[in-house]
A and B are shown apart, each in its own frame.
Chain A
Amino acid sequence: MAEKVFMIALSPTMEEGAILQWKKKVGDIVKMEDPLCEVETDKASMDYLSSQEGTLLAIVKEVGTSARVAEMIAVIGEPGEDISGLLTAAPPPAKAAPAKQAPAAAVPVASAAVSGGRVKSSPLARKLAADKGIDLAAIPGSGPGGRVIKTDVENFTPAAAAAVAPAGSFAPSSLGSSALNDDQVPVSRKRQIIAKRLGESLFSAPHFFLTLGIEMDSLLEARDRINAKRKEKVGLNPFILKFLAEALKRHQALNSSWEGEFIQNHSRVDLGIAVAQPDGLITPIVKDAGSKGILQIEAELKDLIDRARGNALKPEEYTGATFTISNLGSFGIEEFTAIINPPGVAILALGATIKTPVVAEDDSIVVKRIMKVTLSCDHRVVDGVVGAAFLTEFKRMVEDPYQVLL
């Protein structure tokens, strides 16, 4: 039986790929794992390894043309088979084939129950949530695919959600009444994914940590000057992301992925930023941050974080970050270590900016605003010196923004 060969997602973010070269001719025998063609993805060019066996009967996408993921590129079958039906058949399903080359990124961090703003829930759970005035999106679902079911609504307490409120807001203290209980809380799909992915990351990637303090005075002053002339104030994060992108451009190793057989470099800097949700966390991505200005990053960040908190991100908006930051500074955390978010090989943990006595060059003691940052690196890809070089470059840029121009 002749079968269609479909384009598959060869990178976490690939939506379409261009055929650079066919490595088999029509009539050639194709075995499992044989390189069929070379495909240029959004990140790199790589071999398409066949997951089908037989004789290559037709090439549908010639060299130089592009195919969207799940689009037919060839036909494999027995010699002499009539394949006219396959070639003229209806277009393939829009659903993407599983990405063989991207095992980690194929598992989204976000709740599987939430896609495009829709929350999977049983009809009864919807009615109960509406009666209680609870937003379904805030309830962790324990049913299949993260479906919110009756017990989830019944066991949900908004107070419990407030305890993990997004950065910047604190749960009101509950003096006098204990909020503790002995409940068994069902593990939501989202929490299962968080547990699995972060466990895999910490246990398979040998982490090491580099910490340093960055003087924030000049950046904060620069930001104040900029904001003084603007109606819409720019936050600190866009500056940090911009400098990180610039530093990453100069340190390829930190913007890559460990693929076992090889290390996949990424030409584009896709920066993830960890955002707390009531029932977990998610890392929306500012794509290609290296080519964007601070104001554009600011605008995108604002939109992404808003939608992240509302559980309204699309999978491609939170999968495949090449580098991630996590900021607990607004909670007053001075410094901390973060677990690397695959497929990235490093994550930067940002602490609070704190006025600190610093011994200056002339041995006088001056007060500086210091932010402690800790870089977690995957030692399979990044060695200590490489990580240190990147981090000190980032520090130099933040402390002396003109460095970026160099």
Chain B
Amino acid sequence: MAIITFREALRQALDEEMARETGVVVMGEEVAQYDGAYKVTKGLLDKYGPDRVLDTPITELGFTGLAVGAAFAGMRPVVEWMTFQFGLLAIDQLIHNAVKYRSMSGGQFKCPMVVRGPNGPAEYLGGQHSQSFASYFVHVPGFKVVAPSTPYDAKGLLKAAIRDDNPVIFLESEMSYGHKGEVPEEEYLIEIGKADVKREGTDVTLISFSKPVLMCLHAAEELAKEGINAEVVDLRSLVPLDKETVYASVRKTNRAVVVDEAWPKASVGSWIQAEVMKDCFDDLDAAVELVASEDVPMIYNHTVELEIQPTVAKIVAAAKRVLYRA
């Protein structure tokens, strides 16, 4: 299997789906001539031309609305938000149009579109560019929300997202684009709504999605040094949520730590924490812990910036707390 980067895996997915169906178009700020701010759309303009790879003005609400209309009209647009921070300007189009018309029209319209781009804190990006908005979309009925952590998952899920007839929010991370991993040469899809056990263990379940999954794997190695065998469940999809896989793991280990790089209040992490506590109540030996970013706007100072986010040390400490080994 080839070892490729996360950004290359996404590019391959776009390329393959564009080759497969002419209705797949890519639009966003600098996605064409500049190959995308994070080079995910590299070479697509040359291959598919300006009718299918569109540089848009800096008007998130406008071009996202354009994509919603195109989707209603039968195309399969893939919108790149340079970051989900800018996407806040456009969520009106998604919440009031993209996810509503399928049900409000009695199924006459469907909205097969993907909105993708980096979400969540990275490094040196300050208060306005370091936020995770996963919960904004998870909260609203009608979206599918996907957040892969590896190149393999990214490619398989993006292809599945493009073929899905619902609006799919596809959450990436600035820090992940350079990560490498094995991706097979032959075509594959990953079903949206299936979590993946990234590491098997017996003592505690670490539940996460997107970039922090790698932190959980690192934490699991640290815990192993102390004789604690952690299982890491990568949700991959937030909506639909693969409760079956999560609960099977928790029922095995009896302890869980949820890791989410968003703020802790009313977040995806706190929602999953509540679901596990409700549905696995009799299987839990300790209250489920949540490791989230601190409940503050991001501070630019790099040391503080990293400390505000989940860290391996915080995950290790939380795992020990639920094991009563703190």
Task: Spell out A's residues near B (CB within 8 Å).
Answer: 122-127, 142-144, 149-151
Q: B27 at the A/B interface (Cβ < 8 Å)? A: no
Contact A123–B324 (Cβ < 8 Å): no
B31-63 with Cβ < 8 A to chain A: none
Q: B284 at the A/B interface (Cβ < 8 Å)? A: yes
Contact A127–B282 (Cβ < 8 Å): yes
Complex interface bits, B272-310 against A, C-beta within 8 A gives 1, otherwise 0: 000000000111111000000000000000000000000
Contact A149–B324 (Cβ < 8 Å): yes
Contact A149–B286 (Cβ < 8 Å): yes
Contacts of A150 in B (CB 8 A): 254, 285
Known contacts A124-B254, A150-B254: does B282 contact A143 (CB below 8 Å)?
Answer: no
Task: Tell me the dominant secondary structure on chain A's binding face.
Answer: helix
Number of interchain pairs (Cβ within 8 Å): 27
Q: Within the assembled complex, what's the spacing in Å between the Cα atoms of A127 and B282?
A: 7
Contacts of B324 in A (CB 8 A): 142-144, 149, 151
Known contacts A143-B324, A149-B324, A150-B254: does B285 contact A125 (CB below 8 Å)?
Answer: yes
Q: Within the assembled complex, what's the spacing in Å between the Cα atoms of A124 and B284?
A: 5
Contacts of A142 in B (CB 8 A): 324
Contacts of A122 in B (CB 8 A): 284-286
Q: Within the assembled complex, what's the spacing in Å between the Cα atoms of A72 and B295?
A: 34
Contacts of B254 in A (CB 8 A): 124, 150
Taking A123-B283, A124-B285, A143-B286 as known contacts, 6 extra A-B pairs with beta carbons closer than 8 A to each other, sorted by chain A number, are A123-B282, A124-B282, A126-B282, A142-B324, A144-B324, A150-B285
Q: Within the assembled complex, what's the spacing in Å between the Cα atoms of A127 and B286?
A: 13
Known contacts A124-B254, A142-B324: does B285 contact A149 (CB below 8 Å)?
Answer: yes
Q: What is the chain A residue whose CB lies nearest that of B277?
A: A123
14 A-B residue contacts at CB 8 Å? Answer: A123-B281, A123-B283, A124-B254, A124-B282, A124-B283, A124-B285, A127-B282, A127-B283, A143-B286, A143-B324, A144-B324, A149-B324, A150-B254, A151-B324
Which of the listed residues B285, B286, B324 has the most CB atoms from chain A within 10 Å of its own CB? Answer: B285
Complex interface bits, B236-280 against A, C-beta within 8 A gives 1, otherwise 0: 000000000000000000100000000000000000000000000
- The minimal Cβ–Cβ distance linking B297 to chain A, given in whole angstroms, is 26
- The minimal Cβ–Cβ distance linking B204 to chain A, given in whole angstroms, is 12
Contacts of A125 in B (CB 8 A): 285
Which of the listed residues A123, A126, A149 has the most CB atoms from chain B within 10 Å of its own CB? Answer: A123
Q: Within the assembled complex, what's the spacing in Å between the Cα atoms of A150 and B286?
A: 9
Q: Within the assembled complex, what's the spacing in Å between the Cα atoms of A149 and B286?
A: 8
Q: What is the chain B residue whose CB lies nearest that of A126?
A: B282
Contacts of A144 in B (CB 8 A): 324
- The minimal Cβ–Cβ distance linking A164 to chain B, given in whole angstroms, is 24
Q: What is the chain B residue whose CB lies nearest that of A149?
A: B285
Q: Within the assembled complex, what's the spacing in Å between the Cα atoms of A122 and B254?
A: 10
Contacts of A143 in B (CB 8 A): 286, 324
Contacts of A124 in B (CB 8 A): 254, 282-285
Contacts of A127 in B (CB 8 A): 282-283
- The minimal Cβ–Cβ distance linking B288 to chain A, given in whole angstroms, is 11
Q: Within the assembled complex, what's the spacing in Å between the Cα atoms of A150 and B324?
A: 10
Q: Within the assembled complex, what's the spacing in Å between the Cα atoms of A303 and B285?
A: 34
Q: What is the chain A residue whose CB lies nearest that of B281?
A: A123
Which of the listed residues B281, B283, B284, B324 has the most CB atoms from chain A within 10 Å of its own CB? Answer: B324
